[in-house]
Structure 1
Amino acid sequence: MIRVLLADDEPLIRAGVRTILRSDPRIDVVAEAPDGRAAVELARSHRPDVALLDIVMPRLDGLAAAAEIRRVLPETAVVILTTFAEDDYIARALGGGATGFLLKTGDPDELLAGLRAVAAGAAYLSPRIAKRVITELAEGPGGRLAARATARDRVAVLTDRERAVLALVGRGMSNAEIGRRLHVVEGTVKVFVSAILRRLEVRNRVQAAIVAYQAGLVDGS
């Protein structure tokens, strides 16, 4: 069962999202918050698997709440669900530790797929913005070629096995899926991923996936 905390200041939006989530018997909405501060407090008490947060909320916005939840509850995955797809919001969300970014205008199945993915340890971005994250936010001020050269230098410190794991992280696979692909147990994959994040000096799987794309480890990058 995936235990979810839902935070949005609009009751009608919460009701609609709750209905979608409850259509999947594997998802349980354990708490709902009308603002960011309440979301942090409820996360502390309920310790959900996933916190699903709007961006624009009173008392504490969703981005600040996401960063605080990740700080106090590193095992809780954070997904941003918003109508805003501006680059600054996306960058701040991912920089604050969110592992998912979804749009309210997306398909309900996309929301369910995203929650299942992050609960399983993968990262998930709305298909409508994933390409922008990779091609725009990932390139940096020096442009694509400079970013690729820098990324290749960064992944050079990894072992061959770590680079193989990083490539699969870049493709959005969960630890269990990577384990099956590489024929190792899930716990071993978790150790590899932790080492990769530490050696690349990134905060989460999304940032690691960006490095994988920049370095050319993912097909089509």
Structure 2
Amino acid sequence: MHVIMFDRQSIFIHGAISSLRGLIPELNICGTSQADELWTFLSQSPTATLLLDGNMNHEYCLWLLDELAERYPEARVAVALAQGKPDWVETLVQREVSAIVPRNAPAEMFASVLQMVESGMVCFPKKWLGSPSPVRHDLSCLSERQREVLRLLAEGGSNKEIGRALNISAGTVKAHLETLFRRLEVKNRTQAALIYTRAA
């Protein structure tokens, strides 16, 4: 597992690195508070998980996430937040971050979240997700097969893995996903997985 930390506070980076190395023996982790160094690290490990300081300037944070999606689409992002303001959390979800973790969480929680993200799952504190809209989050608009696809997606399954589990082709999975995205009025896998999590 390769993790890159990008944070305003170098003391937070050093403390987190020290703690996480003790909890995840196979962890390859580095950190920086400099953007040019971040891009260098990502160019060396384009599929790494980025642990991002979500309390930096919001415009800069969004620019960074957009650049990351364009330059390194295989990288996953977990965000550390001091406070879960619903509008900011929703904005981060729309940018397809894989996880949000409270900044003051114990190191064990950071380790668990990073391991979940590495395995393709999404992870968000329920209390920070805001109030779900009953229309948008009603799964009754989906067929039984679409609900099965959504459940497997929320568990971190790729299209191929979902197809194998349900004995259907990856193309059929993609068609189901396009339909359920439209019916749930979402734009991406992360938003769909969140709806399933909220409804479960």
**Does TM, normalized by the shorter one, top 0.5?**
yes
Tell me what 1:32 maps to. 31
Distance of aligned partners of 1:20 and 1:194 in 2 relative to their CA distance in 1, 3 Å threshold: farther
Indicate the larger mover: 44-53 or 188-197.
188-197
Give 1:198 shift. 3.5
Tell me what 2:149 maps to. 165
Alpha-carbon separation, structure 1, partners of 2:38 and 2:66: 12
Please state whether the residue corresponding to 2:79 is helix, strand or coil: strand
Tell me what 2:93 maps to. 94
Indicate the larger mover: 193-202 or 93-102.
193-202
Tell me what 1:184 maps to. 164
Alpha-carbon separation, structure 1, partners of 2:145 and 2:121: 18
Tell me what 2:194 maps to. 210
Alpha-carbon separation, structure 1, partners of 2:8 and 2:172: 39
CA RMSD of aligned residues (A): 3.3
1:1-221 maps to which residues of 2 (within 5 A)?
A: 2-23=1-22, 24-29=24-29, 31-36=30-35, 38-57=37-56, 61-125=60-124, 129-133=125-129, 136=131, 138-139=132-133, 144=134, 146-149=135-138, 152-153=140-141, 155-156=142-143, 160-170=144-154, 173-175=155-157, 184=164, 194-199=174-179, 200=181, 202-212=186-196, 216=199, 218=200
Letter in 1 for 2:151: A
Distance of aligned partners of 1:164 and 1:42 in 2 relative to their CA distance in 1, 3 Å threshold: same
Do the aligned partners of 1:117 and 1:123 also contact (CA within 8 Å) in 2? yes
Indicate the larger mover: 6-15 or 36-45.
36-45
**Per-residue deviation, residues 125-178 of structure 1 (Å, max 9, x unmatched):** 1xxx31441x51x32xxxx2x3345x543x35xxx43421312444xx2328xx
Letter in 1 for 2:114: L
Do the aligned partners of 1:94 and 1:206 also contact (CA within 8 Å) in 2? yes
Structure 2 residue runs of 5 or longer lacking an equivalent are none
Give 1:185 shift. 5.9
Alpha-carbon separation, structure 1, partners of 2:64 and 2:136: 30
Please state whether the residue corresponding to 1:147 is helix, strand or coil: coil
TM-score by length of 1: 0.71
TM-score by length of 2: 0.77
Q: Percent identity?
A: 18
Alpha-carbon separation, structure 2, partners of 1:166 and 1:209: 7
Alpha-carbon separation, structure 1, partners of 2:118 and 2:163: 21
Alpha-carbon separation, structure 2, partners of 1:59 and 1:209: 24
Please state whether the residue corresponding to 1:75 is helix, strand or coil: coil
Give 1:6 shift. 0.7
Give 1:7 shift. 0.4
Alpha-carbon separation, structure 2, partners of 1:36 and 1:189: 41
**Per-residue deviation, residues 54-96 of structure 1 (Å, max 9, x unmatched):** 0234797333322321232221111001213111221111111
Do the aligned partners of 2:47 and 2:72 also contact (CA within 8 Å) in 1? no
Structure 1 residue runs of 5 or longer lacking an equivalent are none
Indicate the larger mover: 5-14 or 57-66.
57-66
Query: Size of the alignment, in residue pairs?
Result: 193
